[in-house]
Structure 1
């Protein structure tokens, strides 16, 4: 409260404004009468108001035809059902007609039950289908004219002259019903559009999570596998002949471990930068084919890289890099010590061909999780390419071959 006093009063433009009378009327017209809250209570007040109007018409119009006791009962019977007019529009109209018909046949004040009758007709028109409303209107006009002509020719002609009011009420009800259906369709389309936007946002979030999961899998699996192999090399040098320590081999293994850690740290920071909404700009793009020589050298593989002078799209380059990275990880993990790996990345017409082969000198098969090959296939499909992985048929070893299509403007060399 003290803060509000210091800041001053709330500006008038920020204070909640009460809807204007016209806006409340339009809102009441736009709402579905069958779903509006407190409709029975509101209809009870409306019925009371129409009852008072009917009473005034019965007392003030045509003093020579004031209702008798039965007429008053019938007049009341034509007003009371209006309490449930929106809940049961058809039965309420039948009840009103059942009371109004004998009331007019007894030649009471004919103007008194007109408001209640027109309200019951309007309720049917605004809630029922137009064809149903048309038949109801014809039936009501026919019954009214029949009764009034039986009362007298003058009364019948007067009813025929004023039957246009019945048609006007029915047309008004159908028009309001059409307007409400239009508003409902607009609101429905807006809700569907909102749901579509939410589903699209959820889909994008899921795709981004999957992409980050694939990147983390490729990065961490490759780095940890290489660190494990290089650590095994250093341990082997130390344990085979401790008296003749090969310091150069141990230093090279440790340098490779440090280089792998630095590379993994940089890629991990770049990959996770997208998760920091308020973080600084990324240090750079994710590794592409320019980083392949360092990646292949660290794994001790041979590289044949021919991509031409035309640049590749970032999506194709990133997919090729990750496929090579995961293939090297699997070869180092499953190929055993001394495995020979060959990496070939060449532009072949309108596609980029990626092949990673090894000689498969593993002493025993090592079973993995199976997500590596699945992730490589997903990366190839993400750019419209294909990937095949399996044992080499003619010689021992394993082969991964991917074909990644290029854009037509980039395919020419």
Structure 2
């Protein structure tokens, strides 16, 4: 594995494959020549001469066929089938020529070493069925030729050794091919798993960035809208009613301080999890909905809140935060787009039991009818606020409905399941689990 790519790389041989094959062919040539001039003392021999190296003559045809066979073996990786055929032909030629140059007891099948190496290459490069067919044919051909043209009598140990050489070559090649396939499969799975991990990491990073951006938008849009309105009021009444201007500026200061506090909390989520100065206040939720409504009330907007199910168990933290942010964004849109005299009504309703339990959050306003719907409140498109509501609802398996009302006004309705189908049990809200690190 390289440090730059992070992927598994196939190890490379330091020598070129042709060089390796040339070396293997040279060693095989040497082995064939040594076997060709070495004899064993047969138990039934009528002479007392002991076998050994150099006891058998080395005719020219043996050297030529061995050299040709070694040359063919250099190309065994590129053309395993033709190389096997070439070694078979050369072996048969050597056996036939050996009947003229050697007496029956001194004939040999030394070229079988090259046939075995060629068969090994075929087995390693093809599939098991091909190996079985080719190996069976090679075994039958060489065994019969060896018994008829090789050392005599036909039942000499050298002739039966051909069977062992052929079977061992085929089995070894098949084992190498199987191991190579297993290693390739492991490598492929590792590369696929690594790619999946990288893709999952990128997806998680994108989701986290989206959640943080959504939180920043909700915090900034809400407080900046209040600051903008109160600053406008202070500027308008600065000369005529200084006391009212002073109160408006106090609201600006309060909203600014709250915005900075929430921004600090949100940005603090980017700290390392073990940072001792990371924020540890409870998450925002419907428990502090009164403070949110008071802020809009002080800005001059009439807000009525209707809640049911207050005696129910605490909401899951994710649902609690999402409901609070939906109300915050909806009221901010009312404040910005519906006009100073608009009234807002917030309804929070818990329905169902068990797996069917859900939370419905509805925000209605009575903005002036007949006016074009502002871009930020368009039901089908909209700005980042409505997009954030839909994303929050979808993330929890719920739905978000937004759009203008007949006769004027605007409605935001979000339905959030308390137990998402197929999902794990959600974490309880801050009121139930005490102090915790805020989550986005």
TM-score, normalised via structure 2 length? 0.77
Q: Is the 8 A contact 2:143 2:160 kept in 1?
A: no
Decide whether aligned partners of structure 1 residues 407 and 137 sit closer, same or farther in structure 2, where only a CA change above 3 A counts.
Answer: closer
User: What secondary structure is seen at the aligned counterpart in 1 of 2:78?
Assistant: coil
User: What secondary structure is seen at the aligned counterpart in 2 of 1:344?
Assistant: strand
Q: Is the 8 A contact 2:396 2:417 kept in 1?
A: yes
The answer to whether structure 1 residue 205 and structure 2 residue 183 are counterparts is no
Q: Is the 8 A contact 1:43 1:83 kept in 2?
A: yes
Q: Corresponding residue for 1:401? A: 413
User: What secondary structure is seen at the aligned counterpart in 1 of 2:152?
Assistant: helix
User: What secondary structure is seen at the aligned counterpart in 1 of 2:265?
Assistant: helix
Listed one character per residue, the Cα deviations across residues 106-130 of structure 1 (whole Å, up to 9, x for unaligned) are 1165243232221111111122111
Q: Is the 8 A contact 1:74 1:103 kept in 2?
A: yes
The answer to whether structure 1 residue 376 and structure 2 residue 370 are counterparts is no
Decide whether aligned partners of structure 1 residues 200 and 37 sit closer, same or farther in structure 2, where only a CA change above 3 A counts.
Answer: farther
User: What secondary structure is seen at the aligned counterpart in 2 of 1:154?
Assistant: coil
User: What secondary structure is seen at the aligned counterpart in 2 of 1:284?
Assistant: coil
Q: Corresponding residue for 2:160? A: 161
Counterpart among 131, 134, 148 of residue 133 in structure 1: 131
Q: Corresponding residue for 1:82? A: 73
Q: Is the 8 A contact 1:319 1:380 kept in 2?
A: yes
Question: d(CA) in 2 for partners of 1:398 and 1:36?
Answer: 74
Pairing of 1:182-193 with structure 2 (within 5 A): 182-193=182-193
User: Residue 154 of structure 1: CA displacement?
Assistant: 2.8
Figure out how many residues of one structure are paired with residues of the other and give that number. Answer: 374
The structure carrying a bigger helix percent of its residues is: 1
Listed one character per residue, the Cα deviations across residues 55-105 of structure 1 (whole Å, up to 9, x for unaligned) are 222233376753422331111111122222223222221222222220111
Counterpart among 248, 251, 263 of residue 246 in structure 2: 251
User: Residue 152 of structure 1: CA displacement?
Assistant: 6.1
Question: d(CA) in 2 for partners of 1:263 and 1:305?
Answer: 25
Q: 5+ unaligned residues in a row in structure 1: which ranges?
A: 1-30
Question: d(CA) in 1 for partners of 2:281 and 2:81?
Answer: 72
Question: d(CA) in 2 for partners of 1:320 and 1:91?
Answer: 75
| Greater shift in the superposed pair: 262-271 or 63-72 | 63-72
Question: d(CA) in 1 for partners of 2:372 and 2:143?
Answer: 102
Q: Corresponding residue for 2:279? A: 282
Decide whether aligned partners of structure 1 residues 155 and 187 sit closer, same or farther in structure 2, where only a CA change above 3 A counts.
Answer: farther
The answer to whether structure 1 residue 176 and structure 2 residue 210 are counterparts is no
Question: d(CA) in 1 for partners of 2:256 and 2:308?
Answer: 28
| Greater shift in the superposed pair: 287-296 or 174-183 | 174-183
User: What secondary structure is seen at the aligned counterpart in 2 of 1:299?
Assistant: helix
Q: Corresponding residue for 1:95? A: 86
Pairing of 1:34-113 with structure 2 (within 5 A): 38-61=16-39, 66-107=57-98, 110-113=108-111
Q: Corresponding residue for 1:335? A: 338
Q: Corresponding residue for 2:435? A: none
Decide whether aligned partners of structure 1 residues 104 and 126 sit closer, same or farther in structure 2, where only a CA change above 3 A counts.
Answer: same
Question: d(CA) in 1 for partners of 2:250 and 2:349?
Answer: 30
Q: Is the 8 A contact 1:385 1:403 kept in 2?
A: yes
Question: d(CA) in 1 for partners of 2:192 and 2:165?
Answer: 40
Q: Corresponding residue for 1:299? A: 296
Decide whether aligned partners of structure 1 residues 140 and 331 sit closer, same or farther in structure 2, where only a CA change above 3 A counts.
Answer: same
User: Residue 360 of structure 1: CA displacement?
Assistant: 1.1
Q: Is the 8 A contact 2:38 2:56 kept in 1?
A: no
The answer to whether structure 1 residue 142 and structure 2 residue 123 are counterparts is no
User: What secondary structure is seen at the aligned counterpart in 2 of 1:256?
Assistant: helix
Decide whether aligned partners of structure 1 residues 185 and 212 sit closer, same or farther in structure 2, where only a CA change above 3 A counts.
Answer: same
Question: d(CA) in 1 for partners of 2:319 and 2:343?
Answer: 26
Q: Corresponding residue for 1:269? A: 264
RMSD between superposed Cα atoms in Å: 2.7
Listed one character per residue, the Cα deviations across residues 316-363 of structure 1 (whole Å, up to 9, x for unaligned) are 001001111111121111112222222222323322221111111386
User: Residue 153 of structure 1: CA displacement?
Assistant: 8.2
User: What secondary structure is seen at the aligned counterpart in 2 of 1:84?
Assistant: coil
User: Residue 312 of structure 1: CA displacement?
Assistant: 0.7
Question: d(CA) in 2 for partners of 1:68 and 1:182?
Answer: 46
User: What secondary structure is seen at the aligned counterpart in 1 of 2:234?
Assistant: helix
Listed one character per residue, the Cα deviations across residues 295-333 of structure 1 (whole Å, up to 9, x for unaligned) are 122122332334423211100001001111111121111
Q: Is the 8 A contact 1:352 1:403 kept in 2?
A: yes
Listed one character per residue, the Cα deviations across residues 31-58 of structure 1 (whole Å, up to 9, x for unaligned) are 899x996222111111111222222222
Q: Is the 8 A contact 1:105 1:147 kept in 2?
A: no
